[in-house]
Amino acid sequence: MNKQEFNELLDFAIDREKEAVEFYRSLQKEAKFGDQIQMLKELEAMEMGHIVVIEKIRVTGAKPEDIQRTPNLMISEYITADPETLDLTYQSILIKAMKREESSFKLYSEMSVKFPDAEISTLFRRLASDEAKHKLLFEKLYDDWMSAGN
């Protein structure tokens, strides 16, 4: 894989993160309570942080040792609600976030298998690993919230 192809793949990943930033910004406009807006701003900042990580990969490359195994609580896989139809309760925001991260994880995992080039595969496995970490964060928040009797 040449440098241009590598950069095009990173640009693709950055575009997905920018879509996520815009998604959380748009939800902020719909939110009715300060706590919801604050949480959505934090999610937006997290997605902006993903862009920084991808830009770092552009400089340093993706290395197999950077890929971490992340436990999967499987909460988002068991939730059947359509995130597009949910309101902006705390629970719904967590479901929307989990589903977005799950979708990104699946996309990057599938792409890591479809490209036979080891460097590209490593890149997408790294991106999938990062999305799995973010999904786990939301699953833990959701689990804690549900365990509190909500």
Domains of the chain by start residue, with CATH: 3-147 (1.20.1260.10)
Quote the CA–CA distance of 80 and 57 in Å, as a whole number: 34
Average pLDDT over residues 104-110: 94
pLDDT of residue 35: 87
Quote the CA–CA distance of 129 and 140 in Å, as a whole number: 17
Task: Name the nearest CA neighbour of 109 among 81, 123, 130, 128.
Answer: 128
Length of the chain in terms of residues written: 150
Quote the CA–CA distance of 28 and 53 in Å, as a whole number: 24
Query: pLDDT, tens digit, for every residue of 75-95?
Result: 999 999 898 898 888 899 899
Quickly state the pLDDT bin for 2 (edges 50, 70, 90): confident
Determine the 3-state secondary structure of 71 from DSSP: coil
Average pLDDT over residues 103-123: 91
Confidence check: pLDDT of 119 > 80: yes
Q: What is the pTM of this model?
A: 0.85
